[in-house]
Every structure is written in structure tokens, then in C-alpha cells.
A and B are shown apart, each in its own frame.
Chain A
């Protein structure tokens, strides 16, 4: 039990930022929802940890849980509020300047305009996940994935126009 506890702590510290970025991107930059959804992802990670069979990397396994959790997170709970596209948390952060924040806001809005699959795929691409792993997380062949990524990248780049 102690060993499981320790490995969960290590996984949590190592993977938190990645899962949080995925959730934040999926929920249009809404940090409050992203934090709660990330917490839910890790609750599920803990609950299923014993079932991890090393068939994929731990990171891929966690991304699968994260993608599936985000997909239904807002929709299955009636008490949770819908995402408002204009919602963007104000956060006085020294490393963030107004331009970066504005660009991020635009990027979130552009991601939001993609279709459901496109949104989830690009969030994984943006985090630098290998195509083979994305293919395993999403459940489509690598060839199909490449076609989709090409189209999504083009669409996103046109929208953001940095």
C-alpha cells in the first residue's frame, strides 16, 4: 500500500501539468473547471492504478483517462455550469504579460472552434506527444491520425495567425 502511495505521488507530481494543460485547453482556458477536472482525472488514476498492466506507458494510460474524463466532465453533471466562451480567469502572474495572455485567449478560442476529435487530438499534439501514443489514446490508425493532424494544424494556424 505504501509503495502504491509513493508511486501515485510520483505520478501526480510528474503528470499534473500535462493533464492540467489538456483540460484547460479542452475547457476553453477556464482554469477553475480545468483544476476540478484534473483532480477528477487523478482520482480515477488512483482508483484504477492496480489495473495498470504496462501495456502502454504510464503517461499514455493517464492521457486516455484524461481525454475520456474531459469528454463527459461537463455534460454528465447538470449542476456544473456550461463553459462560457468569454470566460478567462484573470491572473496577475509576473511571467505572463498582456500579449501572451491575449494570444493564449485567442488560441483557446481557436481550439474551441475545432470539432470534438480535432480539439482532443491537437491538445495532445501541442503537448508534444508522439503520434504512435496519440493513435493509441484516440483509437485510430497512425495514417488516419496524420491526415487529421495535418488538417487541424492548418486550420489552427490560420485561426490563430500569430
Chain B
């Protein structure tokens, strides 16, 4: 008996533990589908409401507000909308990857997805972030006259802390996705090689 046969015998000795019955699996699968639909509807509702509020705000207050404050506010909302839309598109693109394909095809489709994500993270995200910060600065400088000095300082400090936190989250996410893209690329190379 060769060593590999022994390994194979050992492999078959393993026992398994089940978690959940088929009924529970089906229930979870259905719940998962419902959650996805709800999430999708939720995003559409948020986007629609935000756009409507923005329009309403614009129509009602544009004459009373300084143009600078209004532009700042619009930029901030616009950057959030772009970000939500990008995440929503990403989510649907990932969900569209066919898990029933071979490992090689699945890896290829997933690589394309993470290359798309890379563009979002390296191009769109900094742009959105810059738009948000610009909007915030425009709004803040316009509002400076109407708020107390201590509140003005508080707003600046909390905004910096918020920006640092968001940057940390983005960097963490970017590193994770780049690592995953590298793994998938390596896997593709392994599959292509004859060794």
C-alpha cells in the first residue's frame, strides 16, 4: 500500500457533524433572498427620498441661502449619493458572478469584479471624498458667521476625526480587496501553469 492510499483511507475515516436540517437550510435561503430584496428596495427608497429632499430644499431655500452654503450642501449630498450608487452597483455585480461555473471561470469573473472595485477604490472614492470635504468646507465657511466660535471649533475637530476614521476604513477595505485580487490572480496563474 502506498503512502497516498493510506492518506486516502485516513481521509475517509473522518466523521461529520451536521448543523441544521434541510428545512432549516431552505428557510435560511428564503430569508436570505427576502433580505436581499428588502435591501435593494431600501437603497432605491433612500436614493429617491434624498433626491426629492434635495430638490425640495433647493426650491424652498435657494433664494434665502448664500450660494456658497447651498453649493457646499449640494456637493456633500451628491458625494454621498455617488458613493451609495457605487456600492449598490458593486453589490449587484458581485451577486451576478456565477458560482456554478468551474473554479477557473469563477476566479476569472471574480478577478474582473475586483478590478472594477479597484477602480472604485482608487479613482472614485478619493474623488467622492474630495467632493465631500470641499462641500463641507464651503458650507462651514458660509455658516461661520451664524454659529458660535466654540461650536465652530467643535465642528472642525469632529470633522477631522470623522475624516480620519473614514480614511482608516477605506484603507482597510482597500488592503483587503487588493489582497484578494492578488490571491485570485495567483490562483489563475497556478491554473494556467502545467506544473
Contacts and interface: CB of A to CB of B under 8 A. Distances in A.
Interface of A: 5, 8-9, 12-13, 16-17, 20-21, 24-25, 31, 35-36, 38-39, 42-44, 46-48, 51, 61, 64-65, 67-69, 71-72, 75-76, 78, 93, 95-96, 100, 103-104, 107, 115-118, 120, 126-128, 136-140, 144, 147-148, 151, 153, 156-157, 160-162
Contact of A39 (B20, B103, B180): B20
A61 B16 contact: no
Contacts of A67: 103
B16 A157 contact: no
A139 B103 contact: yes
Given A38-B19, A64-B101, A68-B103, 16 more contacts: A12-B22, A20-B16, A35-B17, A39-B20, A39-B25, A46-B25, A64-B102, A65-B99, A78-B176, A104-B10, A117-B103, A139-B191, A156-B7, A161-B3, A162-B3, A162-B10
A127 B11 contact: yes
Contacts, number: 140
B63 interface: no
B106 interface: yes
A145 B74 CA distance: 57
B194 interface: yes
Q: What band does the interface of chain B fall in when counting residues whose beta carbon is under 8 Å from A?
A: 35 or more
Contacts of A144: 194
Most-contacted residue by chain A among B103, B107, B194 (CB, 10 A): B103
A160 B7 contact: yes
A156 B102 CA distance: 24
Contacts of A139: 101-105, 191
22 contacts: A8-B22, A8-B25, A13-B22, A21-B16, A24-B14, A39-B20, A42-B22, A43-B29, A44-B99, A71-B103, A71-B106, A75-B183, A76-B180, A115-B190, A116-B186, A117-B187, A138-B103, A144-B194, A147-B194, A153-B4, A156-B4, A157-B2
B6 interface: yes
A46 B180 contact: no
A86 B187 CA distance: 25
A21 to B, nearest CB: 6
B62 interface: no
